[in-house]
Structure 1
Amino acid sequence: MNPLLTDLLQVLKLERLEVDLFRGESRDPGGRRVFGGQVLGQALAAAYATIEGRQVHSLHAYFLRAGDPDHPIVYEVDRSRDGKSFSSRRVVAIQHGEQIFHMSASFQTEQAAIDRQGEMPEVPDPESLPDLMTAVEELKRKAPDRPNPFRKHEHPFDFRPAELPDPLAEIPREPRIKVWIRLKDRVPDDPILHQCLLAYTSDYFLLGAASMDARMTNEREQLQMASIDHAMWFHRPARPDEWLLYVTDSPTASGARGFARGSLFSRDGRLVASTAQEGLVRRIGEVAQSR
């Protein structure tokens, strides 16, 4: 198995400290802070450890403080309610004695009902597209004076951009990204693991879409960006080791915050999940002025 993926699976394996208390390892993907998707995936894994016979259908989370990648994170689960069809859990992530994140998640028994959805946008097949870093280098070649929209570092995922912003377009441009995503190797046939991995994946590209406007005339190093909150709805089963199309856009930005939303489609066109996120996006100079 790909070593980065092996490590990710290890990160999602939590140590049970008490009945509803768990501990997870941390990693530094760059920037000296824990990736938000790691905390989402671990928090969902902690909630699932207190659930039987039900699947998550939604989660709503707030990022309170940056996570320290050099120390583990403790997750405390509150069993808020277990009803006939639904269960609710609240998870608090603690590091250095302080809350860094909290999440509410709802779980449901399997039920047969009406099944409908909108259509997946038409995009090229992932096999016909370059990987993300190749695409970013091409953007830089076309517009060398524009900053890179993505950081360069290794991932356990294969990203194939189906649509990126036109680097020669006038700013502000429409903030929209369409990317094919797939794990670099096969993972076990575990639906709970698949949903935790989807939660991890969902934190990619949303903040990137929210920051693709006039602020991108600055280098990324001159921007302060951080996720504030995150919501996700799980509509249908999906495997993250098979191609998924992530369609994200950002319809508004104001008050040093950018809002983005996303749709995850399976290759055969099923809408498997929806996401929404608001993030802090401001120039460092604006931070000093606001103080």
Structure 2
Amino acid sequence: MAPAATIERRVAVQQPPHVGSDTYANKQPLTSQPTGRAIFGGLLLSQAISAASATVPPEFHVYSSHSNFLRPVAATFRDRVLYHVDRIGDGRSYATRVVRATQGDRSACVYIATIAFQNRNTPAAGNVLDYGPPMPELDGLQPEDVPADLNRKILADGSSPDSPLQPLSSEVEAFDYRIFGIVAGDHPTEYRVRSFARTAEPLQAPTSSSAVHLAALAYMSDEMFLAMAIVANPDRVGVRARHVAMGATLSHRIAFHEPAARADAWTVSERETSWGGGGRVLLHQRTWDLETGRLAMTCEQEALIRLREDAPKL
């Protein structure tokens, strides 16, 4: 049997001994940000979904996740993250879990998420609405037409060594990103970044195991998401984002629209920012299944971005 893909190992959790029921921990060492300040937030998103999914029947799939990042989480395996799952509600069609994450000997919560599930085997009563926004026009473009290393070159050319735009090292990349379109405008809200993405390796989890695929998609949703507000404000952030002093995610919301979506199948994403003020920015993301053209995931993120004192004021 082939080894599990990088992302499968990364989103996996396990029940440590002597911690009680409905408590889980990261199964592998945590992955830090390139700056070394804290772990990558997508790990918390995905592992919280994995922990919550372990407490519901297999026919239930996650359809929404609302997360708040409360404190930095250190990338040390000795002080692993514990995910405490509270079974808030259980019904025939829906279930709700609250996941509180702590680290080490500290009892303070570092991350909290409300995760909701739906029973895929419960038929909807009567007729239902079925619609979604169309996928961006590709004009025949396919992922294979975009160089595999283009995303890394764009990031390297657009960020300084201490910038929050730094990508993870190639040795630990879990996803294959291929940016194929940047729609620019005179105002930050007119920027759009479009890309193809899928896991770097095929997943061993079957399609029926939606928990792994949706956890992986949650991980993917956070990669370089905050950067959208930075690239949309080139005059303020400066060349290679040299005026950016700090960037951190505050909250992250995901709606999963396709329970059978596969993380190792090509997707098409479009990202934009709609607002900035008070030290915060608001970001939006839509992700479609490339093969079907159906919307698979919608995300919204609030983030903190601070500029250096010498940043221009327009």
C-alpha distance in structure 1 between counterparts of 2:159 and 2:63, whole Å:
43
Bigger CA drift: 12-21 or 94-103? 12-21
Q: What residue is the counterpart of 1:55 in the other structure?
A: 61
Cα distance change of structure 1 residues 7 and 127 upon mapping to structure 2, 3 Å threshold: closer
- Per the TM alignment, residue 150 of structure 1 is displaced from its structure 2 partner at its CA by 4.1
1:163-202 equivalence runs, <5 A: 163-164=181-182, 174-187=190-203, 188-189=205-206, 190-202=209-221
1:94-133 equivalence runs, <5 A: 94-96=102-104, 97=106, 98-110=108-120, 111-112=123-124, 113-123=128-138, 124-131=141-148, 133=149
C-alpha distance in structure 1 between counterparts of 2:164 and 2:193, whole Å:
11
State yes or no: 1:254 paired with 2:277: yes
C-alpha distance in structure 2 between counterparts of 1:150 and 1:140, whole Å:
9
TM-score with structure 1 setting the length: 0.86
TM-score with structure 2 setting the length: 0.80
Cα distance change of structure 1 residues 231 and 284 upon mapping to structure 2, 3 Å threshold: same
C-alpha distance in structure 1 between counterparts of 2:289 and 2:178, whole Å:
14
Whether the 8 Å CA contact 1:176–1:249 is kept in 2: the answer is yes
Three-state SS of the structure 2 residue aligned to 1:117 is coil
- Per the TM alignment, residue 117 of structure 1 is displaced from its structure 2 partner at its CA by 1.3
Q: What residue is the counterpart of 2:302 in the other structure?
A: 278
Whether the 8 Å CA contact 2:164–2:247 is kept in 1: the answer is no
Whether the 8 Å CA contact 1:178–1:245 is kept in 2: the answer is yes
Candidates 91, 94, 101, aligned match of 1:86: 94
Question: What's the CA shift string for 1:228-267, capped at 9, x where partnerless?
Answer: 0000001112111110111110011111111101111001
Q: What residue is the counterpart of 1:289 in the other structure?
A: none
Q: What residue is the counterpart of 1:204 in the other structure?
A: 223
Unaligned runs of 5+ in 2: none
Question: What's the CA shift string for 1:14-38, capped at 9, x where partnerless?
Answer: 1213311111141224221111111
Percent identity, aligned pairs only?
A: 27
Partner amino acid, structure 1, of 2:134? E
Whether the 8 Å CA contact 1:140–1:148 is kept in 2: the answer is no
Cα distance change of structure 1 residues 106 and 174 upon mapping to structure 2, 3 Å threshold: same
Q: What residue is the counterpart of 1:27 in the other structure?
A: 31
Whether the 8 Å CA contact 1:206–1:260 is kept in 2: the answer is yes
Whether the 8 Å CA contact 2:52–2:99 is kept in 1: the answer is yes
Partner amino acid, structure 2, of 1:67? V
C-alpha distance in structure 2 between counterparts of 1:144 and 1:51, whole Å:
42
Partner amino acid, structure 1, of 2:192? R
C-alpha distance in structure 2 between counterparts of 1:56 and 1:244, whole Å:
19
Cα distance change of structure 1 residues 125 and 47 upon mapping to structure 2, 3 Å threshold: same
Q: What residue is the counterpart of 1:242 in the other structure?
A: 265
Partner amino acid, structure 2, of 1:174? E
- Per the TM alignment, residue 191 of structure 1 is displaced from its structure 2 partner at its CA by 1.6
State yes or no: 1:65 paired with 2:71: yes
C-alpha distance in structure 2 between counterparts of 1:37 and 1:223, whole Å:
21
Whether the 8 Å CA contact 2:188–2:273 is kept in 1: the answer is no
Partner amino acid, structure 1, of 2:304? L
Cα distance change of structure 1 residues 22 and 105 upon mapping to structure 2, 3 Å threshold: same
Cα distance change of structure 1 residues 85 and 139 upon mapping to structure 2, 3 Å threshold: closer
How many residue pairs were aligned? 281
- Per the TM alignment, residue 171 of structure 1 is displaced from its structure 2 partner at its CA by 7.8
Partner amino acid, structure 1, of 2:295? L
Question: What's the CA shift string for 1:155-183, capped at 9, x where partnerless?
Answer: 121111021366xx778583321111011
Alignment RMSD: 2.9
- Per the TM alignment, residue 65 of structure 1 is displaced from its structure 2 partner at its CA by 1.1
